[in-house]
Amino acid sequence: MKILIYVSFLGTKYSGYQIQKNAPTVQQALCEASERVFGFKCDVTGCSRTDSGVHANMFCAAVSESGKSGIDTTIPIKKIPLAYAAVLPNDIAVFDAKEVDDDFHPRYDVEYKEYVYKIYNRSISDPFMADRSWHYPRVLDDGAVERMNEAAARFVGKHDFASFMSSGSDVTDTVRTIFEAEVKREGALIEFRVSADGFLYNMVRILTGTLIAVAEGKIEPTDIDAVIESRDRKRAGVTAPPTGLYLNRVVYRD
């Protein structure tokens, strides 16, 4: 067996998930914590890469003994979250754990993932939302938010999302299926929620930037189909900053 851990983290202090030299990453923190929890070096494989500054309400990672296909431990599975709590920094938490098969893969076995993007929409920023949202100071009216939601509905379906991928990715198959995409306002927060079977590099951030272009009247909701068909990054909106992005849910097959 492997152990699948359910993790939440505040991404502010981390250079993303994936381990790298000379920069703190979530994966490195989880590797170090896993070694202290289990008493031996571990491999920690995440459900996705995330960029620097991006957050997670739910991120999944599989833990196995380093170089082996599984893990052998006497720690009861229910005690795993508390064991991690004792050794993790306070901006990362393991809130649940499950036993999974040796051949389980936290990235390839994903059925769908959901992201939430938070836009803080007041003229004056909120210190408690800094680094946790995109501060967009021009206050959008209800009509603008409704247009964003109409545009988001046009993202839904199986499409080639090449227009919504940053360069620097070696992915060649840019077809993905978006299951749900919705924009809602709650007080000062405008939240964009999107689920799909997979996401391209910076895809949610570019979808968000495109929704803001719709709010500003630069793109009409009905233009979205043409933006998708163009397969042209320049037709989409800006790449929204990482601070507003949260991986919110990971659902596996079975």
Judge whether 26 and 75 are in contact, CB under 8 Å: no
Beta carbon of residue 177, minimum distance to a second copy (angstroms, whole number): 30
Interacting residues with a second copy between 36 and 65 (CB under 8 A): 55
* Token pair 């000062």 in the structure block, residue: 188
Query: Burial, 79: exposed, middle or buried (Cβ in 10 Å; 0-12, 13-18, 19+)?
Result: exposed
| 134 touches a second copy (CB under 8 A) | no
Binding test (CB under 8 A) with a second copy, winner from 92, 181, 224, 245: 92
Report the candidate in 183, 177, 180 with the shortest Cα–Cα distance to residue 157.
Answer: 177
Residue number, 103 or 186, with CB nearest to a second copy: 186
Residue number, 94 or 207, with CB nearest to a second copy: 94
| 126 touches a second copy (CB under 8 A) | yes
Beta carbon of residue 94, minimum distance to a second copy (angstroms, whole number): 7
Mark whether 51 is an active-site residue: yes
* Token pair 């090449």 in the structure block, residue: 162
Report the candidate in 209, 204, 244, 242 with the shortest Cα–Cα distance to residue 53.
Answer: 242
Would you state the structure tokens that stand for residue 188, as one six-digit string? 């000062």
Report the candidate in 197, 194, 6 with the shortest Cα–Cα distance to residue 116.
Answer: 194
Q: Which span (8-16, 190-198, 215-223, 225-233) binds a second copy, by CB under 8 A?
A: 8-16
Binding test (CB under 8 A) with a second copy, winner from 10, 213, 240, 245: 10
- Report the distance separating Cα 236 and Cα 228, nearest Å: 8
Binding test (CB under 8 A) with a second copy, winner from 2, 9, 71, 164: 9
Which spans of this chain sit near a second copy (rule: CB under 8 A)? 8-10, 55, 81-82, 85, 90-95, 123-128, 130-132
